[in-house]
Structure 1
Amino acid sequence: MVDTSKEELLQLIKRLGTYITVKMSNFLPISFHNLDSRSIGAVAGLAVAIIFTWRMLRSPSGSQPRQRKRQAATPSNSGVSTQSNASLIPSGVCSPSDDLRAQNVVDEFFQPVKPTLGQIVRQKLSEGRKVTCRLLGVILEESSPEELQKQATVRSSVLEVLLEITKFCDLYLMERVLDDESEKRVLVALEDAGVFTSGGLVKDKVLFCSTENGRSSFVRQLEPDWHIDTNPEIVTQLARFIKYQLHVSPVRTDRTAANVFSAPSFEQFFGSI
């Protein structure tokens, strides 16, 4: 009986090793293929050991009561039938249920982990370290300099992404304004929204100009990895000089260049990988 259990365990380990090899080759297609056969065996062996240790620590007696119930409900002559059926299965051969058990264990171990917002932002920005972004229509609810003469309102839906970007990027915000009062309104709105509290963005990195060409000039001087804008003309002009751009437009537009991406809003671009 003990030898049979050991043999079943060995067969299950073999099945797990094979299934893990396939699973890991799909899970890590690049790095896994660079490994030699000894490294693959070591990784698979370690994974099997971890999985079985984890499984053994869980309650092993969950299936016993159900087995006793079935035995109790079976007629007396079922013992002969069970023994005869068991003898039909050759020693050392795994049943389909063993394969299923192995797959279930490995599938549970390799459950995909949902990426954090920080990971999504980093991947979307291709690990870029400097970002420039206009305010109107992207960070602010207002869409024209004339509106800023009356009020400035930060869109609450962008705050989480904006603050995440400031954690690992050098971020500059910029906008065209018509007077000094508009500048003050924008800075107060950003401060009230908590944009400056994280330490990643300071007021000196909020830039103002009087023309659209002035904003374009800011971007070229700063040489960011990414620029985010709503003006298609500026996006087109900068396509030759900036590595990546995001054109924010509620209307779907044709892609003007390979390094220009588009999205209906700032936050929707970072909504998923």
Structure 2
Amino acid sequence: MGNDSSKEELVQLLKRFGAYLTVKMSNLFSISFDNLNSRSLGALAGLAIAIVFTWRLFRTPPRHQRRQPKRLAPTPSTSGVNTHSDGAPVSPGICSSEDSRAQNVIDEFFQPVKPTLGQIVRQKLSEGRKVTCRLLGVILEESSPEELQKQATVRSSVLEVLLEITKFCDIYLMERILDDESGEKVLLALENAGVFTSGGLIKDKVLFCSTENGRSSFVRQLEPDWHIDTNPEIIFQLARFIKFQLHISPNRSECTASNVFCSPTLEQFFGFPDRN
């Protein structure tokens, strides 16, 4: 008897499971396919698995079904109150334990999947594979060539994002310096931060020049998919030559062209807060 009761309970649970799937399906497919993102596609995959799972279970009915007892007709005193299969009254609007369990199963299928940092980088960079980026004010704490004559410090909050970009993209770092010693300080700071250990960035891809126009010339020669800079004049000059640009500015200045994006920091562009 206990085994038959468990089977009947499973059948009831699956019926409620199917009802919830119908509601979820109607909500999901009400969204335009043009607006589907990775999270929606994950939900679709979960929905497909759930449908196949439910269908396979319903294909084979239980071998032994106990005879259903005759149900008593509801008395006038119970009008407006639903009764369970065992005759126990259930108030309208109150979910039974089976309803709650079915709801929990459905919710597990539709839990949002948090994208990885690598997925965020690829999505935000529109699958671009070559990136050029200036150092001052983006990768380094210092903001002028004069400061580099004293020291060079890699921003700790940008390091995780930078390392992920080096895994996915062919990236070149560049900066204007006043002397060779400044360049050596920059390379040492990058090395100590572990930027060269990932294998995606080598010292030969850290370029130095003596003028701002020299940095602009580097970018045009490399023809990247993305260029990242803090100088609005260089951003403006390169807008018609480079597919995408990211202007790093703490003042959140307005973007000068449709292919130019703006962000206070590089990490915030990828959804990471500035923890400095």
TM-score bin, normalised by smaller chain:
0.7 to 0.9
- Residues 10 and 112 (structure 1 numbering): CA distance in 2 closer, same or farther, change over 3 Å? closer
Q: For 2:57 and 2:184, how far apart are their aligned partners in 1? A: 59
Indicate the SS of the match to 1:175: strand
Give the 3 Å change call, closer, same or farther, for CA 129–26 of structure 1 in structure 2.
Answer: farther
Please give the residue correspondences for 1:61-210 in structure 2 after superposition, counting only pairs within 5 Å: 85-86=83-84, 97=95, 101-210=101-210
SS at match of 1:112: coil
Structure 1 stretches of 5 or more lacking a match?
Answer: 33-40, 53-80, 90-94
Tell me the CA shift for residue 152 of structure 1: 1.0
In structure 2, what is the equivalent of residue 220 of structure 1? Answer: 220
Q: Is the 2:17–2:106 Cα contact (8 Å) retained in structure 1?
A: no
Look up the match of 2:18. Answer: 14
- Partner amino acid for 1:131? V
Change (3 A) 1:9 1:153: closer
Query: What is the CA-CA distance between 1:12 and the residue it aligns to?
Result: 2.0
Contact 2:239–2:245 (CA under 8 A) maintained in structure 1: yes
Once the two structures are aligned, what percentage of the paired residues are identical?
69
Alpha carbons of structure 1 residues 9 and 269: separation in structure 2 relative to 1, 3 Å: closer
Task: Say what the alpha-carbon RMSD is for the aligned residues.
Answer: 3.5
Q: Secondary structure at the residue paired with 1:208?
A: strand
How far did 1:120 drift?
1.3
Mapped to 2, the partners of 1:259 and 1:228 lie a distance apart of: 12
| Distance in 2 separating the partners of 1:51 and 1:177 | 69
Q: Distance in 1 between matches of 2:147 and 2:20?
A: 64
Aligned to 2:74: none
Given that residues 19 and 103 in structure 1 are in contact (C-alpha distance below 8 angstroms), is that contact kept between their aligned partners in structure 2?
A: no
Letter in 2 for 1:184: E
TM-score (ref. length: structure 2): 0.73
Alpha-carbon spacing, 1:43–1:111, altered in 2? closer, same or farther (3 Å): closer
**Cα distance in structure 1, aligned partners of 2:194 and 2:118:** 18
Per-residue deviation, 1:24: 4.5
Change (3 A) 1:50 1:251: farther
- Please give the alpha-carbon distance, in whole angstroms, between the structure 2 residues aligned to 1:223 and 1:117: 25
Residues 267 and 51 of structure 1: CA distance in aligned 2, closer, same or farther (over 3 Å): farther
AA of the residue aligned to 1:8: Q
Distance 1:146 1:182 in 2: 9
Q: Which moved more, 1:11-20 or 1:113-122?
A: 11-20
Deviations 1:123-148 (CA, angstroms, capped at 9, x unpaired): 11111101100001111111111111
Q: How many Å separate the matches in 2 of 1:11 and 1:196?
A: 57
Assess if the C-alpha contact under 8 Å between 2:18 and 2:54 holds in 1. Answer: no
Structure 1 residues 222 and 99: alpha-carbon distance in aligned structure 2, compared to 1, 3 A threshold: same
Classify 1:238/1:47 alpha carbon distance in 2 versus 1 (closer, same or farther; 3 Å): farther
Alpha-carbon contact 1:141-1:153 (below 8 Å) kept? yes
Once the 2 structures are TM-superposed, how far is the Cα of residue 42 of structure 1 from its aligned partner? Answer: 6.6
Question: 2: CA distance between counterparts of 1:105 and 1:6?
Answer: 13
TM superposition score normalised by structure 1 = 0.73
Number of aligned residue pairs: 232
The code of the aligned residue for 2:136 comes to L
